[in-house]
Amino acid sequence: MSGLTAAALTTAHIDLGALQHNIGVLRERAAPADFMIVLKADAYGHGAVPVAQAAAACGVRNFGALDIPNALTVLAAGLPSDSAVLAWLHMPSQDFTEAVDAGIELTASTVAELDRIAGSRSSRVPVVQFKIDTGLNRNGATAETWPALMSRAAVLEAAGRIRVKGVWTHIAEASEDEDTLAMRRFDDAIAVAATHGVHFSVRHLAASSAAFRRADVRYDMVRIGGHCWGIPSFDGVTPADMGLIPVMTLVSRVTAVAERASGVRLAEIAAGFLDGIPRESRGRVSVAIRGRRVGLDREIGHSSTLVEVTGSDIAVGDEVYLFGTGEHSEQTVREWGDRTGTLGDEIVSRVGARVPRIYSGTN
């Protein structure tokens, strides 16, 4: 693999060509609905700025940033002028002036939040989206607080203090029936807004999993995170089954080998839980060295991990493929997630800050 440097022992290789391929597959699947790429948590550990730039280069214009600091970071990447960057998680003490000045689209869930957005010191008119809770019981207005929020939105829009753009929700994905119920609640909220004279040009509900599965949940736009990185959200489904390619390959090196008196041969891998190998992966996942699978069967250290390689010719300096595309016989991060009781999304998001990201595949 190109780009390895002598000094970097453990590196995360981000294939932006694979990212662009995945975006193409997913956009086509979601069409005619528009497509938002979700860049929260530093684009799930892939690097928000390079990912945003690669997505923009293949035509994506909607970016989900989670919060204002991340939205400002993404905007600083120099996106096309017709791009929309959405933030929705605001701290109670949040000042919105800088965000409105920067043209970040802001989500409001409560009247208080909406008033603070409208009351920013910016000379620009904020573009606002509204969030309704359709059953997840997290953020978003409830069916009870929604009418007052819409009433206030109508007043502020009429006064020219906000521009109403979108409405959206998160769904629980507990079952198809629950999601259908959430969709009906979403429709009801849109109908209630209309009775207040509030109309939305963009309605969005579905993230990776539902957007891929069901046409009826896509509305005007889908919000895609996990699938962009080639991490399937469906049990028993490989990235290839979906036409996707894993974007991140985590690579380390063998830094020592030793023969023990017992006849066991050990190899030391220069990666541990500080680099993103979950401690709970012990005994559950494997890595690939010289095209051969080797189990992570011993204690996962903070910076290094030993593996047993008895009977092999594995040597100091060998590349160790932790997870990736499978090209070098390694497991995918989806498999790592399955085997450790979590999502691949969590594993890639946790790859350590000290692990350099090395990018390839940009046009």
> Binding residues for other proteins, per CB under 8 A?
6-9, 40-42, 44, 66, 89-93, 109-110, 133, 135-139, 142, 172-174, 178, 253-258, 260-261, 266, 268, 270, 273-274, 279-280, 298-299, 301-304, 306, 316-317, 341-343, 345-346, 349-350, 352-354, 356
Q: How far is the CB of 149 from other proteins (least distance, A)?
A: 13
Q: How far is the CB of 253 from other proteins (least distance, A)?
A: 6
Nearer to other proteins by Cβ, of 53 and 145: the residue is: 145
Nearer to other proteins by Cβ, of 10 and 62: the residue is: 10
Task: Return d(Cα 278, Cα 78) in angstroms, integer.
Answer: 35
Q: How far is the CB of 6 from other proteins (least distance, A)?
A: 5
Nearer to other proteins by Cβ, of 80 and 341: the residue is: 341
Q: How far is the CB of 150 from other proteins (least distance, A)?
A: 18
Nearer to other proteins by Cβ, of 20 and 304: the residue is: 304
Q: How far is the CB of 257 from other proteins (least distance, A)?
A: 7
CB atoms within 10 A of CB 228: 27
Nearer to other proteins by Cβ, of 193 and 254: the residue is: 254
Q: How far is the CB of 161 from other proteins (least distance, A)?
A: 23
Nearer to other proteins by Cβ, of 281 and 325: the residue is: 281
Nearer to other proteins by Cβ, of 162 and 257: the residue is: 257
Q: How far is the CB of 123 from other proteins (least distance, A)?
A: 25
Nearer to other proteins by Cβ, of 124 and 298: the residue is: 298
Q: How far is the CB of 330 from other proteins (least distance, A)?
A: 20
Nearer to other proteins by Cβ, of 220 and 280: the residue is: 280
How, if at all, do strands 127-131 and 163-168 pair? parallel
Q: How far is the CB of 126 from other proteins (least distance, A)?
A: 20
Spatial contact of 16 and 46, defined as CB atoms under 8 Å apart: no
Task: Return d(Cα 67, Cα 136) in angstroms, integer.
Answer: 20
